[in-house]
A and B are shown apart, each in its own frame.
Chain A
């Protein structure tokens, strides 16, 4: 009897069917646009810089000379070594600070803290991640600068040390969040089984939790490295912005990103200087690409080891 089955659906294109089509289309456009944007950005950067790299830029000079004089007349010099060294040293120092710091906080939040303490800490960490980079740069400029001068008795406080500390503090919150997610993904049954055997909390963390969260932790660290390479404003303000291959933490330095940000406004569109800055952009793009690829390979390798 028909009346006993009020919910049966006829074969017609009803509202649910139409909404399904609309939702699919919107999601498809969203998904595809991510690819379109990445390709478009790369194409734009490549269009502006690639021709210059291939035809005019002396690559061996770029990678071996610290002389970055893009506005020099009549013969500008495009040596990138100081900028590369500046970015690498600031990022390296930042990771030296951020990796142990963020892993420590993540392990505390994920494995030890409970209840309100845990929730409060998580909110605080997320709040830290939301501080704009220009504020961090400001802290480097006005607070860390005099501290470094007083503490180490050096003439200038805007150095690799300053930028590294600031960048480390900036990268740590997001790294903490990712690392904590990785720890949370480790099943509690592992912890329970190991603890039931008489393992101490530290033994459980060291021998069971960290190894099984390792791929997520690596992803967290690589994300931090990517953040370090890409950060511009804070590094510009805290590093001293001096073209110089730093030989220690108390030397000033200049980062690739900061160079682009500081100089692009002064260049004529289409000039060699303008194109040289886009070349730096391509270099940054490639480094980030390699880091992401590396993270992807590591994550896949970890996954295949496990299954």
Chain B
């Protein structure tokens, strides 16, 4: 296991997630490789978001959510991390609906850096500008960095949360249907950014849009009703080379 750690970013083994009696995910096992974009597609209630939440142990703040099995991050099970905050600081998360923290645009992006102990205006200015540029928001907000993040439009707020996630300099970036509240043009701009970011980090992209997975993901997993139906190369999967007919049906839009 340790020998493959450099290539395997996340190793999921027999993962099950339950909320009381409700099974959100059952017996999931697959690997996410270093520096790939790993797409997760599937209809609503198929366990995609629950999986994302289990990776950085958000289950601990979700009443009733129970996780069994293991997720290894860099070869180390996430539930064996004693300093949960250190684990989370290495994993960036972008939620479906943008959450601008109740502080200025600048403070939103400088937040993670400050948590890490970055001090000094120069250093923080650098982080803020770099991350806002990368999330394609800089030009729109550079003149009003002191205004509240929550005043931005939905699409701008989502790019702000992406900038915030990038400010953590994460090894792993989890995107949970980031484009729900974003217009198509901005979505395309963010997608271009993600292609570049792949050089530096591993990205797990949960999406309702199968085309988005097709455009971005190196490999894709198809989740259905709490089962991982299959994991495969995206290109092959979208050419119809699937192991399970249900995957093809979903991609072609016959259900879900």
Residues of chain A whose beta carbon lies under 8 Å from any beta carbon of chain B: 114, 187, 189-200, 203, 207-208, 211-212, 305-306
Contact = CB atoms under 8 A, between A and B. Distances in A.
B206 to A, nearest CB: 14
Contacts of A306: 102, 148, 150
B164 A197 contact: yes
Q: Which 3 A-B pairs have the closest CB atoms?
A: A198-B89, A198-B88, A212-B102
B150 A195 contact: no
Given A193-B101, A197-B93, 16 more contacts: A189-B97, A191-B61, A196-B56, A196-B91, A197-B88, A197-B112, A197-B165, A198-B89, A198-B112, A199-B85, A199-B115, A200-B85, A207-B111, A211-B102, A211-B103, A306-B150
Contacts of B193: none
B188 interface: no
B58 interface: yes
A190 B108 CA distance: 11
Q: Which of B88, B91, B102, B103 has the most CB of A within 10 A?
A: B102
Contacts of B123: none
Contacts of A212: 102
Secondary structure at chain A's binding surface: helix, strand, loop or mixed? helix
Nearest to A187: B99
A191 B95 CA distance: 13
Contact of B88 (A190, A191, A196, A207): A196
A194 B61 contact: no
B49 interface: no
B220 interface: no
Given A189-B95, A199-B85, A199-B115, A194 B58 contact: no
Interface of B: 56, 58, 61, 63, 85-93, 95, 97, 99, 101-103, 111-112, 115-116, 148, 150, 161, 164-165, 168
A195 B88 contact: yes
A178 to B, nearest CB: 20
A211 B92 CA distance: 24
A193 to B, nearest CB: 4
7 contacts: A189-B99, A191-B61, A193-B101, A196-B56, A197-B88, A198-B116, A211-B103
A21 to B, nearest CB: 42
A90 to B, nearest CB: 36
Nearest to A115: B63
B125 to A, nearest CB: 19
Q: Which of A114, A193, A207 has the most CB of B within 10 A?
A: A193
Contacts of B165: 197
A203 B113 CA distance: 13
A195 B89 contact: no
B61 A190 contact: no
Given A189-B95, A199-B85, A200-B85, A194 B102 contact: no
B159 to A, nearest CB: 15
Nearest to A201: B85
Contact of A198 (B95, B99, B102, B115): B115
Contacts of A305: 148
Contact of A197 (B97, B102, B115): B115
Nearest to B93: A196
Contacts of A211: 102-103
Nearest to A114: B63
A195 B101 contact: no
A305 B103 CA distance: 10
A193 B99 contact: yes
Contacts of B56: 196
Nearest to A199: B115
Contacts of B89: 197-198
A190 B99 contact: yes
Q: Which of A114, A189, A191 has the most CB of B within 10 A?
A: A189
Contacts of B99: 187, 189-190, 192-193
Contacts of B92: 197
Given A198-B168, A203-B115, A192 B61 contact: yes
B101 A196 contact: no
Contact of B102 (A190, A192, A196): A190
A207 B115 CA distance: 10
A257 B61 CA distance: 48
Nearest to A189: B99
Contacts of A190: 99, 101-102
A203 B116 CA distance: 11
Nearest to B88: A198
A231 to B, nearest CB: 35
B117 to A, nearest CB: 12
A197 B92 CA distance: 7
Contacts of B91: 196
